[in-house]
């Protein structure tokens, strides 16, 4: 999961998705609001690694960022080589949406650790 979310929102001048707490956010989300999607997500993550092994004989986490991106682009368009028991494009859409939610969410939701994305975008939390 770490390699996938950091490929979607990589670290640069600001922390990437993993350091910003996206995996913590996703863990919480899949235990509560998206509990019914947990098996779907787990299957998709397994398939990402299988796709990587089909294409490059290496685990996804061990690939270069460029090769990781090429795999995610193939998954996004459904141009996969490995067998997928789920829809690769539906998985990709869920993954992108929930990763972005975790990165830009209110830190009280478990992601956006230290309000890092708010700092990056210039958004400031305001008390009511």
Question: Per-residue pLDDT for 10 more than 70?
Answer: yes
What is the chain's alpha carbon radius of gyration, rounded to the nearest angstrom?
Answer: 15
Mention every residue, 6+ apart, whose C-beta is less than 8 A from residue 86. 40, 43, 44, 47
- Every domain of the chain and the residues it spans: 2-9+18-114
pLDDT, tens only, 37-51: 999 999 999 999 999
Distance CA 39, CA 30 (A): 9
pLDDT, tens only, 66-105: 999 999 999 999 999 999 999 999 999 999 999 999 999 9
Q: What is the pTM of this model?
A: 0.89
Question: Per-residue pLDDT for 127 more than 50?
Answer: no
Distance CA 20, CA 14 (A): 9
Average pLDDT, the chain: 93
């Amino acid at each position: 999961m770490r390699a996938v979310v950091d490929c979607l929102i990589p670290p640069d001048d600001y922390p990437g998705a993993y350091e910003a707490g996206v995996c913590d956010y996703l863990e919480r989300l899949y235990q509560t609001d998206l509990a019914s999607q947990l098996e779907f997500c787990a299957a998709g993550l397994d398939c990402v690694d299988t796709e990587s092994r089909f294409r490059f004989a290496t685990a996804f986490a061990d690939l270069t960022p460029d090769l990781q991106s090429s795999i995610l682009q193939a998954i996004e368009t459904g141009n996969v080589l490995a067998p997928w028991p789920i829809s690769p494009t539906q998985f990709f859409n869920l993954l992108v949406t929930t990763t972005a939610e975790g990165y830009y969410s209110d830190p009280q939701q478990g992601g956006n650790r230290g309000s890092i994305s708010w700092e990056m975008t210039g958004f400031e939390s305001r008390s009511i």
